[in-house]
Amino acid sequence: MPDDLDISAVRPGQLLARGVCRHLLSLDFVSVEELTPERGLRVDVMAMGRKGEIWVVECKSSRADFQSDHKWQGYLPWCDRFFWAVDEAFPVELLPEDTGLIIADAYDAEIVRMAPEAKLAPARRKKLVATFARHAALRAHAARDPGARLWAG
């Protein structure tokens, strides 16, 4: 199995995010990690489908990680569908039933429960796609030209 990541160097939630992003890609959703839709709010994974659908996935590595998250309802206005991603040992009965559920590991993931859809208003979707584009372009730019950061305003 391909594995170019130094697994020991990253947080467990990031490993779940890796598997999640791979699975989303197989569904033709592109994704970014750690996007900030508004000040003070950072989502683990934001994904965009072919029709501009926006999904948010929060990755929780443990019960404590989930229970310490007091912000998650703040993510709901920033996506069409909201999912949790957890590993197979996670006590899924803790998670609200009206949210999506993804079981993941570092290598892949599976959608176990589709999230209900709450469609973004057109103006917010437009802004969010632009935010997504900007975030992704900055990451891609940093990857192809590490020296470029010195030019950022």
Q: Tokens representing 88?
A: 């197979």
Q: Tokens representing 147?
A: 């020296």
Q: Is 108 near a copy of itself (CB under 8 A)?
A: yes
Candidates 3-11, 56-64, 78-86, 97-105 — which segment interacts with a copy of itself by CB under 8 A? Answer: 3-11
Measured from the CB of residue 37, what is the shortest distance to a copy of itself in angstroms? Answer: 14
Task: Note whether 84 and 78 are within 8 A (CB).
Answer: no
Task: For the chain, give the longest Cα–Cα distance.
Answer: 48
Integer-rounded Cα radius of gyration of the chain: 15
Q: Is 79 near a copy of itself (CB under 8 A)?
A: no
Cβ neighbour number for residue 61 with a 10 Å cutoff: 18
Measured from the CB of residue 12, what is the shortest distance to a copy of itself in angstroms? Answer: 16
Contact residue for a copy of itself among 37, 43, 44, 48 (CB under 8 A): 48
Q: Taking CB under 8 A as the criterion, which residues in 83-102 touch a copy of itself? A: none
Contact residue for a copy of itself among 13, 16, 31, 115 (CB under 8 A): 31
Q: Is 22 near a copy of itself (CB under 8 A)?
A: yes
Dump strand ranges (E) for 7-153: 30-38, 41-48, 54-60, 81-86, 100-104, 109-113
Q: In angstroms, rounded to a whole number, what is the distance separating the alpha carbons of residues 79 and 74?
A: 10
- Site residues, a copy of itself (CB under 8 A): 1-5, 18, 21-23, 25-28, 30-33, 48, 52, 108, 126, 129-130, 132-134, 136-141, 143-148, 150-153
